A and B are shown apart, each in its own frame.
Chain A
Amino acid sequence: MEDLKTKQKNVISDETIEYVGILAKLELSDEEKERAKRDMGEMLDYIDKLNELDTDGVEPMSHVFPVNNVFREDVVTNGDGSEATLANAPERKDQGFKVPKTIG
């Protein structure tokens, strides 16, 4: 691990880690930020390694299997799922999830 860190090429700035934190809705301590910067740099280093491969003329792939057109018919198959769904609510009110006031 130490070894990898010394060779790290991608350096993540404070601004970037701050921005990524906002997007991910995460509040990080200074210590956590440093660790996240290091982790992210390592990930990007690994991507750089993948980028060494010549992919000219190769179609970008989003799926591993050569499968297309998996459909369902438009038929209702599910009944009242409210109890199972609401079982995951940290807080509930009436039949809904209770969350901090949010403007739609």
Chain B
Amino acid sequence: MSKTYETVIGLEVHVELATKTKIFCGCSTAFGGAPNTHTCPVCTGMPGSLPVLNKQVVEYAMAVGLATNCTITQYCKFDRKNYFYPDNPQNYQISQLYLPICRNGGVEIETSAGKKVVGIHEIHMEEDAGKLVHDEWEDVSIVDYNRSGVPLIEIVSEPDMRSAEEVIAYLEKLRLIIQYLGASDCKLNEGSMRADVNLSVRGVGETEFGTRTEMKNLNSFKAIARAIEGERARQIELLEEGKPVIQETRRWDDNKEYSYAMRSKEDAQDYRYFPEPDLVPISISDEWIARVKARQPEMRTEKMERYQREFGLPAYDAEILTGDKAFADLFEATVALCGRPKKVSNWIMVETIRMLKDNGMDPDEISFSPEHFAKLVELADEGAVTNTVAKEVFELVFREDIDPDAYVEEKGLKTVSDEGALRAAVEKVIAENPQSVEDYRNGKEKAIGFLVGQTMKAMKGKANPGLVNQLLRELL
């Protein structure tokens, strides 16, 4: 009864590539077009139309393969995967089965269980399908083929993961690598990164794999973690009851926290693959691989080292800033404008991350410009505005990308260092707070903090705090 089980997990990760056009035609891949506006005879599978491969797709796939330690298949081809479904107007998907572009790679992940390498079995190129939307008024579905033919790579891992934590670490690692390469924005919630989870359980110590199921429809890290826990529990329960686990595709319902066996197109998993006759093979020379390699941008580890060396940042800062490409990009662009790397780093690590958290946003949703951010860092660092004012202005930069110089000027928020004006304010505070004044005179050092606060309040946060302190001590 109290047998301990091990969970064995492999992932199939689909990533939408950041090309301007589709994989086999000159239609745009831009989001948000009215339904079916980005379509042509090729991506809607019209008889007689012929696909022509987008070179950028091959280069992105190679770049991801090289960054994940794969071997590039120097002679590779496309194959046809046949199935009938309304999202697939050709009745087949052009994919790669026999000679995928990348093979035998792996990435290192780190979790509470330590470091380990998750193997990558292969990466292949393929096309995305159209989108089915259930109609609100009629019992019908509406098909939009704008996504049909958008390039994807599918990254197939080895069954090397043993927990939800490892799965998330692996996905985060892949996402970071691919974002650094600029090959995709990898947004799970928008579907530009999608993960199917293959999961089986077996008794600890067993060497044979159990029967696995495949789970689809996982669109956040949290959903993936919950689905893994849920499916693990479901399979263990079956085994404990002496029932078999059925190899099938299941759809995770994150609201109900349960997975359901999928019917429809998954019924007949017989895709009758055959070599794609409309596309000629791809031959990748050593020189081409070398060119792609030479163009690889700086990856996280190198960036982390450089931030410490070039900008003198602490390791901790370098780690946080490079942990998301959006932070690294913002940091570099801002420092290029105003220098002060440590100050810029602080503003990102404290205020920016706080605002993101408060607003439930991801770092890649940052929309303010490095120009305005740099001006704010300068204003604060030069003491032209107080910390309090700077934080308030930052919130506006974050929300509306305002120009801090103009705003501070217009609202008269510059720090008041004029001694006459401050002296008057301090005198008034002293007159209004006799109790605190007496406390201070009786040796309660803390009381001065209250008086400083009152003065700052009276000055609407704009008073030069050093000067206020000095004046208070003098007048008391």
Contact = CB atoms under 8 A, between A and B. Distances in A.
A71 B132 contact: no
Interface stretch (B24-32, B384-392, B402-410): B24-32
Interface stretch (A2-10, A48-56, A91-99): A91-99
A102 B86 contact: yes
B368 to A, nearest CB: 29
User: Helix, strand, loop or mixed for chain A's interface?
Assistant: loop
Interface stretch (B101-109, B264-272, B428-436, B440-448): B264-272
A86 B39 CA distance: 10
Contacts of B40: 78, 81, 84-85
Contacts of B280: 63, 65, 67-70
Contacts of B270: 23
A25 B276 CA distance: 22
Interface size class of B (residues with CB under 8 A): 35 or more
Contacts of A25: 84
A103 B38 CA distance: 23
A62 interface: yes
Contacts of A104: 87, 131-132, 141
A82 B54 contact: no
Given A68-B280, A71-B54, A75-B21, A62 B140 contact: no
Contacts of A23: 82, 268, 270, 272
A97 B142 contact: yes
Interface string B69-89: 000000001000010111100
B71 to A, nearest CB: 19
A97 B86 contact: yes
A1 interface: no
B283 interface: yes
Contacts of B21: 72, 74-77
Query: Max chain B CB contacts within 10 Å: which of A69, A74, A94?
Result: A74
Contacts of A40: none
A73 interface: yes
Nearest to A63: B280
A72 B54 contact: yes
A14 interface: no
A95 B36 contact: yes
A82 B37 contact: yes
Given A96-B143, A101-B141, A62 B281 contact: yes
Given A65-B280, A69-B280, A75-B21, A82 B34 contact: yes
A36 B146 CA distance: 37
Query: Max chain A CB contacts within 10 Å: which of B35, B53, B131, B267?
Result: B35
A22 interface: yes
Given A23-B270, A70-B280, A72-B53, A78 B35 contact: no
A102 B142 contact: no
Given A76-B21, A76-B27, 6 more contacts: A62-B281, A69-B280, A82-B35, A85-B36, A101-B139, A102-B141
Interface of A: 22-25, 62-63, 65, 67-78, 80-82, 84-86, 88, 93-104
* Nearest 6 A/B pairs, CB to CB: A77-B26, A62-B275, A96-B142, A95-B35, A71-B55, A74-B56
